[in-house]
Amino acid sequence: KLGIKVTDREVREEMQRRYGSHLVEQLQRLGLESDELRAMIHQELLVQRIQWLRVYSKAEARLTTEEMKKAFEVHLRFNPPLE
């Protein structure tokens, strides 16, 4: 088991991000119950994390720590943290 988890809170936040105040209308349009949509989003988030883990593990196997550090520093230069 990979130990990858998706919390109820993360699912709720994703539903809010996607549908906002239009959740009820979207459920009706899609012909879904709220629990069905929650399950679908939970699965999507889980798959995204598994894919990220696969990509990360492949990158980690190919890159040295120093290369990752340099790439991260370049990333920070072009994407400074929001404060």
- Looking at residue 83, what is its pLDDT? 67
- Looking at residue 32, what is its pLDDT? 92
The whole-angstrom separation of Cα 67 and Cα 75 is 12
- Looking at residue 35, what is its pLDDT? 94
- Looking at residue 3, what is its pLDDT? 81
CA angle 75, 4, 33 (to 5 degrees): 105
Digit-by-digit pLDDT tens for the chain (83 residues) are: 568 899 999 999 999 999 999 999 989 998 999 999 999 999 999 999 988 888 777 766 677 888 878 888 998 888 888 76
